[in-house]
């Protein structure tokens, strides 16, 4: 079974980014696919500060935040979909 992780970067639930991600999930629902949608705005995580803690011992981020919940999902995923909003599109 293929595993797909969708990461939604928009803070707007029920916005266009979530609509498109859900549309993809609905289209793939009949397939033999495990699909998970992650709303990044719901998580508390910090940017990399180049502390180099991941270079010591296990090659693993040592920052104690909720990104630790996402890393295993990404490692196990066959496909990762990034849903990112565009707020200032123009010609």
pLDDT at 5 over 80: yes
What pLDDT does residue 1 have? Answer: 84
Mean pLDDT of 5-26: 93
Q: What is the 3-state secondary structure (H, E, C) of 42-81?
A: HCCCCCCCCCCHHHCCCCCCCCCCCHHHHHHHHHHCCEEE
Instruction: Give the model confidence (pLDDT) of 25-80 as tens digits.
Output: 999 888 889 999 999 999 999 999 999 998 988 888 989 999 999 999 999 999 99
Identify the CA nearest to 65 among candidates 32, 85, 43, 84.
Answer: 43
- The Cα-based distances of 41 to 18, 57, 91 in angstroms read 12, 30, 28
pLDDT of residue 38: 95
Q: What's the CATH fold of domain 2-83? A: Rossmann fold (3.40.50)
Segments making up each domain of the chain, as ranges: 2-83
| Total-model pTM | 0.83
* Cβ atoms of residues 25 and 37 within 8 Å: yes
């Amino acid at each position: 079974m293929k595993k797909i992780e969708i990461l939604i970067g928009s803070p707007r639930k029920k916005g266009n980014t979530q609509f498109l991600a859900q549309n993809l999930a609905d289209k793939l629902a009949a397939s033999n696919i495990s699909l998970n949608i992650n709303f990044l705005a719901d998580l508390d995580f910090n940017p990399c500060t180049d502390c180099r803690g991941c270079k010591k011992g296990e090659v693993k981020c040592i920052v104690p935040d909720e990104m630790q919940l996402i890393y295993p999902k990404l490692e196990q995923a066959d496909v990762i979909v990034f849903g990112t909003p565009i707020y200032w599109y123009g010609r």
